[in-house]
């Protein structure tokens, strides 16, 4: 993998700091600090629960900002499928959010890391990227799935998230051009930035 890392200070209107990793094929992975409901992309990923019933954290923020239509779509999915398994995701429209789709990913509750949590967390990112490719999505934003109420250690989760996304972006055939990690707090941003800088630095052009 060959990529270029750039740091931007100041950022745009909706975010403060940004780190950009550009792969040899021109595709980009960006880290920004901000509120995922405020940043325009084709698809926003939600950190949902298996029952798809809504909750706090980023899920609450997405439903508040997107309006009741998103929950109505989830009600229909629940009627059809019952629930969404951990490590997977389902797609709805985005209501009044600045996006076309929301992908509701169900991350693992962290126990000790030896109960399948890493594979399930990776599964969330892979499934959302698969949903994105099926729908012709070019830009997609992710929160730090499972690192809030579900208790996944931030550094381990950040490594899984960035590497899973990087592996996808490196593929020549992908339609997704840009993936944003939208980190809500400075600590989470710094953690992701440190891991990305360390793990991708050797590949700088
Ligand atoms: P989980 O149950 O998967 O842990 P949470 O919503 O509790 O989900 O937390 C996941 C991450 O989302 C946490 O790092 C939290 O700080 C972050 N978060 C909360 N609100 C927002 C938001 N509006 N935009 C982006 N990230 C958010």
pLDDT string in tens for the chain (205-residue length): 455 666 665 545 456 668 889 888 899 999 999 999 999 999 999 999 999 998 999 999 999 999 999 999 999 999 999 999 999 999 999 999 999 999 999 999 999 999 999 999 999 999 999 999 999 999 999 999 999 999 999 999 999 999 999 999 999 899 999 999 999 999 999 999 999 989 987 553 3
CB atoms within 10 A of CB 80: 8
Q: Is the CB of 66 under 6 A from ligand 1?
A: no
Distance 143 CA to ligand 1 centre (A): 6
3-class state of residue 35 by DSSP: coil
In order, the DSSP letters of 45-105 are EEEE-TT----SHHHHHHHHHH-THHHHHHHHHHHHHS---TT-EEEEE-TTSSSSEEEEE
For residue 178, give the nearest of 2, 20, 10, 12 by alpha carbon.
20
Q: Which domain holds residue 37?
A: 3-201
3-class state of residue 29 by DSSP: strand
Structural element, H or E, at residue 21: strand 15-23
Catalytic residue among 59, 75, 112, 199: 59
Q: Is the CB of 146 under 6 A from ligand 1?
A: yes
Distance 59 CA to ligand 1 centre (A): 7
Distance 168 CA to ligand 1 centre (A): 23
Q: Is 75 a catalytic residue?
A: no
Q: Which residues pair with 141 in a beta bridge?
A: 44, 180
End-to-end CA distance of the chain: 10
| Domain of residue 121, CATH code | 3.40.220.10
* Number of structural domains in the chain: 1
Please identify, by atom number, the ligand 1 atom nearest to the C-alpha of residue 154: 14
Q: What is the pLDDT of residues 99-155, one digit of tens each?
A: 999 999 999 999 999 999 999 999 999 999 999 999 999 999 999 999 999 999 999
Give the pair of three-digit tokens for residue 124. Answer: 């969330």
């Amino acid at each position: 993998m060959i990529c270029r890392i750039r740091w931007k200070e100041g950022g745009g209107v909706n975010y403060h700091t940004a780190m950009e990793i550009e792969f040899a094929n021109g595709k980009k992975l960006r880290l920004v600090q901000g509120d995922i409901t405020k940043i325009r992309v084709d698809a926003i990923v939600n950190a949902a629960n298996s029952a798809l019933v809504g909750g706090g954290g980023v899920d609450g923020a997405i439903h508040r900002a997107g309006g009741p239509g998103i929950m109505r779509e989830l009600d229909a999915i629940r009627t059809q499928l019952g629930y969404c398994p951990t490590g997977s995701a389902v797609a709805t429209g985005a209501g009044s959010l600045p996006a076309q789709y929301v992908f509701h990913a169900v991350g693992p509750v962290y126990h000790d890391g030896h109960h399948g949590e890493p594979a399930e967390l990776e599964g969330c990112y892979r499934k959302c990227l698969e949903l994105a490719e099926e729908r012709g999505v070019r830009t997609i934003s992710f929160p730090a799935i499972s690192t809030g109420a579900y208790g996944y250690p931030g550094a381990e989760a950040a490594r899984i998230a960035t590497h899973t996304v990087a592996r996808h972006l490196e593929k020549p055939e992908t339609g997704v051009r840009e993936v944003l990690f939208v980190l809500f707090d400075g600590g989470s941003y710094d953690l992701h930035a440190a891991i990305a800088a360390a793990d991708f630095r050797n590949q700088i052009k």
